[in-house]
Amino acid sequence: MEFIPSDIDQYCVEHTTPENDLLSKLNRETHAKVLQSRMLSGHLQGRFLSLLSHMIQPKLILEIGTYTGYSALCLAEGLTENGKIITIDVNEELEDFVRDFFSQSALNDKIDFRIGNAMQLIPIIADSFDMVFIDADKLNYSHYYDLVIDKVRSGGIIIADNVLWSGKVSNASAKDKDTIAIRDFNKKIQDDTRVENILLPIRDGLMVVRKK
């Protein structure tokens, strides 16, 4: 996930709006108490997600993959007054940890946290989405995209995390299942005439997709 020199990365962080106190606390406690803390969106990516959300001013956001709730809190910052984010995760073990941090946020009433299989939960959501953030199991990225694309309004945004997969996507010798799945997903987006897209080398790669 290290795509630029650490001193350049630190310079970028130092010239990015700081995390608020709750996000800073969540960042620290995730790294101290939770396994695979590299899954956290973190400061730089979190501010980018917040900025996009503020620009779009969504009424409804769907997040697939909550982890410890950092990205959900960032995305919620740009919601309209009566807006909502539905965030789905399959990991019951982190539920209490996540709900505790959500409860400490002034945005708690805007967050609908659901535990379950996103493949089963997404089809029963009747609303259309202004914004979707995909950050769950890589093998199902293409399936998640297929489930949400028709539910995203024209002009809406889909963002997918980890689309550079530590740089392995550009390494022809990398043939593990996750890498192949991400490559297939990236090609699927690139070939989809319903959207326009840009792949940004932020953190582990963000695919930003706008539905026409």
Q: What is the 3-state secondary structure (H, E, C) of 118-177?
A: HHHHHHHCCCCEEEEEECCCHHHHHHHHHHHHHHEEEEEEEEEECCCHHHHHHCCCCCCH
Is the pLDDT reported for residue 2 higher than 80? Answer: no
> What's the pLDDT score for residue 4?
79
> What's the pLDDT score for residue 5?
85
Segment 193-197 shows an average pLDDT of: 98
The per-residue pLDDT for range 127-144, each reduced to its tens digit, is: 999 999 999 999 999 999
For the chain, which domains are there? Answer: 6-211 (3.40.50.150)
> What's the pLDDT score for residue 145?
98
The per-residue pLDDT for range 50-76, each reduced to its tens digit, is: 999 999 999 999 999 999 999 999 999
> What's the pLDDT score for residue 38?
87
